[in-house]
């Protein structure tokens, strides 16, 4: 680590790749898109054999081909119909927050977790909507994820980027997490919280500010060049400032429901590599720069 910079030696900047696993299955969205877009073909996605939001095969293949890895943050959220009050069944917010959830013990999810672990990807915690200020719930979610994964997790991000400062970070640190990537906004992008990770408690707990979430960018399905120009500008700024740039791409944004986002992500990664960036998951960068003996000597 060069002085106060987190960028590993030999690299121009660092790009941390992260994915929040919110909805790997397309459920109520089929009806929503069929009505909103007047396209009844979305109803076909309700068939059990069709899993358009299960984009992990292509995503992992691309990252493996590029020689990079990323972090996948898994959610242990309540279910609308079995866990939430009945009054929420009839609200838009209830469906938005709790419908279409998955169980960590679902066989496909368990197999995916094992595949990620064996392949060298990072698995982290995607703290649930309610857990932003609930340490006991966060601890339960972390322990359940670790039990299914078979390994400890070291960091994560809160669902919907919900954050209470510094309380959420205090909870993370208290339950044994080493870093958080929540700090940021869903509708804005940029290095608004600086070019380097933060140490809010002046110890080894670290915050990786979120530079950009895909949904904050211009829609690449409408104007790809404008979306890429925004990302290209961020990459240039990162290189000029020896920065750590953290990005969030939801797996469902690699589906046909969100045209252009998969292409945009692939160009982001290949361009960063071409520019001499270190590219990988936050947990790996943390281990290299905080946990290594060299970092301890700095």
SS (H, E, C) 34-82: HHHCCCHHHHHHHCCCCCCCCCHHHHHHHHHHHCCCCEEEEECCCCHHH
Ordered by start, the domain boundaries in the chain are 14-297
For domain 14-297, the CATH architecture is Alpha-Beta Barrel (3.20)
Q: Are 195 and 155 in contact (CB under 8 A)?
A: no
109 closest CA partner among 77, 148, 51, 62: 148
Q: Cβ atoms within 10 A of the Cβ of 263, count?
A: 15
For the residues 159-181, what does the mean pLDDT come to? Answer: 97
Pairing of β 212-213 and β 122-127? unpaired
Q: Cβ atoms within 10 A of the Cβ of 126, count?
A: 24
Six-digit token pair at 40?
């009844």
- The pLDDT of residue 65: 98
Condensed to tens digits (0 to 9), the pLDDT of residues 26-84 reads 565 555 564 556 555 555 555 566 677 899 999 999 999 999 999 999 999 865 545 65
End-to-end CA distance of the chain: 8
160 closest CA partner among 198, 179, 135, 132: 132
Residue 199 is classified by DSSP as: -
Q: Pick the range with the lowest mean pLDDT from 88-92, 211-215, 263-267.
A: 88-92
Crossing angle of helices 261-274 and 224-240, rounded to 10°:
30
Crossing angle of helices 56-66 and 261-274, rounded to 10°:
10
Q: Pick the range with the lowest mean pLDDT from 179-193, 210-224, 283-297.
A: 283-297
64 closest CA partner among 279, 289, 251: 279
- The pLDDT of residue 1: 46
The three-class DSSP label of residue 204 is coil
Q: Are 182 and 172 in contact (CB under 8 A)?
A: no
Condensed to tens digits (0 to 9), the pLDDT of residues 215-269 reads 999 999 999 999 999 999 999 999 999 999 999 999 999 999 899 999 999 999 9
pLDDT exceeding 90 applies to what percent of the chain? 75
- Cβ neighbours for 248, distance < 8 A, ≥ 6 positions apart: 18, 19, 20, 157, 181, 210, 212, 213, 214
- The pLDDT of residue 184: 97
255 closest CA partner among 75, 32, 24: 24
Residue predicted with more confidence, 170 or 296? 170
CB-count burial class (<10 Å; 0-12, 13-18, 19+) for 227: buried
* Cα–Cα dist 96/194, whole Å: 32
282 closest CA partner among 117, 173, 116, 157: 157
Residue 88 is classified by DSSP as: G
Sign of the dihedral defined by the CA atoms of residues 234, 213, 138, 168, in that order:
positive
Residue predicted with more confidence, 39 or 213? 213
């Amino acid at each position: 680590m060069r002085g106060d910079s987190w960028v590993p030696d030999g690299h121009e900047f660092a790009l941390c790749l992260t994915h929040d696993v919110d909805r790997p299955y397309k459920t109520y969205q089929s009806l929503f898109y069929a009505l909103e877009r007047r396209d009844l073909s979305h109803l076909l996605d309700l068939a059990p054999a069709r899993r358009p939001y299960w984009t992990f095969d292509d995503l992992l293949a691309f990252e493996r081909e590029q020689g990079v890895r990323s972090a996948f943050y898994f959610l242990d959220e309540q279910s609308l119909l079995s866990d939430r009050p009945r009054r929420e069944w009839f609200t838009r917010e209830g469906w938005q927050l709790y419908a279409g959830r998955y169980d960590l013990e679902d066989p496909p999810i368990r197999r995916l977790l094992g595949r990620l672990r064996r392949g060298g990807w990072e698995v982290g915690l995607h703290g649930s909507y309610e857990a932003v200020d609930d340490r006991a719930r966060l601890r339960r979610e972390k322990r359940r994820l670790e039990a299914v994964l078979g390994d400890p997790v070291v960091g994560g991000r809160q669902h919907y980027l919900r954050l209470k400062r510094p309380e959420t970070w205090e909870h993370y640190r208290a339950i044994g997490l080493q870093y958080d990537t929540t700090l940021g906004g869903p509708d804005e992008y940029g290095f608004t919280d600086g070019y380097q990770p933060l140490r809010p408690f002046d110890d080894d707990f670290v915050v990786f500010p979120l530079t950009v979430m895909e949904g904050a960018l211009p829609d690449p399905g409408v104007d790809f060049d404008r979306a890429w120009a925004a990302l290209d500008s961020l990459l240039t700024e990162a290189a000029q400032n020896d920065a750590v740039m953290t990005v969030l791409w939801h797996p469902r944004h690699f589906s046909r429901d969100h045209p252009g986002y998969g292409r945009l992500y692939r160009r982001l990664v290949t361009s960063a590599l071409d520019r001499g960036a270190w590219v990988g998951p936050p947990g790996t960068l943390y281990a290299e720069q905080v946990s290594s003996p060299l970092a301890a000597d700095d």
